């Protein structure tokens, strides 16, 4: 049974056709996934206050129901390191069509993965794991399984990635926390089973994985046409 908070976010997003990043993150956070510390700022002051609380540098991302792929539109700024830089970024974003504020969030580093879901016509909910980032569709290093996933599926999914070794610690980097990745994928897959009738597809991209955690740094939920 979906939590009320999750159902509320889905129904509030119906008209847009997809769930905006800050709401999507709230939804996944309610479902038990880790997200970065962030705020959805609609004024420069809110953004600055958040940045001063957690400390620079931070990431800024435009929020607009008209912009599905933020990076393609230069709507993502990483390494914002001062109040001034932050205000400039906010003002630049405010000129985007449909501007509805800015996500200000902590910067996280680690291996970037994509975790996705799609409601397939023939097979129903399926889960995708791949090497993430903005170039996912260039490398297409992905593996797909029918949901719900079992824990043992995660291991075989990682093995199925050409760049799977990146997750094991490569050239001095620490290996990622496999049990956290497993928890994330299994929790996500269980959630997707419950979301089947509401969604068309989901991108969690990137999911940033390190030695301690796997954090959903960006999320997009495309809703089903009804």
Binding another protein (rule: CB under 8 A), the pick from 45, 74, 81, 120 is 120
Q: Which residues pair with 76 in a beta bridge?
A: 61
In terms of phi and psi (left: phi > 0; alpha: psi -120 to 50; beta: otherwise), the region of 133 is: left
202 belongs to the binding site for another protein (CB under 8 A):
yes
CB of 90 to another protein, least distance (A): 26
Among 201, 209, 214, 215, which residue sits at the site for another protein (rule: CB under 8 A)? Answer: 201
Q: Which residue, 84 or 140, is less far from another protein as judged by CB? A: 140
CA–CA separation, 131 and 70 (whole Å): 19
Residues 6+ away with beta carbon under 8 Å from 178:
154, 155, 158, 167
Interatomic CA distance for residues 111 and 124, integer angstroms: 29
52 versus 71: smaller Cβ distance to another protein: 71
Task: Give CA angle at 75 (215, 78), nearest 5°.
Answer: 50
What is the CA angle 195-71-51, rounded to 5?
A: 90
Residues 73-112 that bind another protein (CB under 8 A): none
Map the footprint of another protein across residues 121-180, applying CB under 8 A.
121-124, 126, 128, 130, 136-137, 140, 142-146, 153
Closest CB 21 distance from another protein, rounded Å: 13
Q: Interface residues with another protein (CB under 8 A)?
A: 18, 68, 114, 116-118, 120-124, 126, 128, 130, 136-137, 140, 142-146, 153, 200-203, 205, 220, 222
């Amino acid at each position: 049974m979906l939590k009320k908070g999750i159902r509320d976010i889905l129904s509030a997003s119906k008209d847009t056709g997809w769930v905006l990043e800050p709401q999507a993150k709230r939804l996944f956070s309610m479902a038990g996934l880790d997200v970065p510390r962030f705020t959805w700022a609609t004024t420069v002051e809110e953004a600055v206050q958040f940045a001063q609380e957690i400390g620079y540098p931070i990431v800024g991302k435009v929020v607009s129901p008209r912009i599905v792929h933020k990076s393609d539109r230069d709507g993502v700024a990483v390494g914002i390191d001062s109040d001034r830089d932050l205000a400039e970024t906010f003002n630049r974003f405010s000129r985007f069509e449909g501007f509805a504020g800015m996500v200000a969030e902590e910067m996280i580093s680690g291996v970037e993965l994509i975790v996705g879901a799609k409601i397939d016509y023939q097979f129903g909910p399926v889960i995708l794991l791949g090497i993430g980032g903005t170039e996912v569709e260039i490398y297409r290093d992905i593996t797909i399984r029918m949901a719900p996933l079992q824990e043992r599926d995660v291991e075989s999914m990682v093995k199925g990635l050409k760049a799977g070794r990146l997750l094991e610690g490569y050239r001095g980097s620490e290996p990622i926390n496999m049990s956290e990745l497993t928890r994330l994928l299994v929790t996500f897959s269980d959630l997707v089973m419950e979301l089947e009738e509401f969604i068309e597809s989901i991108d969690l991209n990137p999911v940033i994985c390190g030695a301690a955690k796997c954090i959903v740094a960006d999320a997009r939920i495309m809703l089903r046409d009804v």
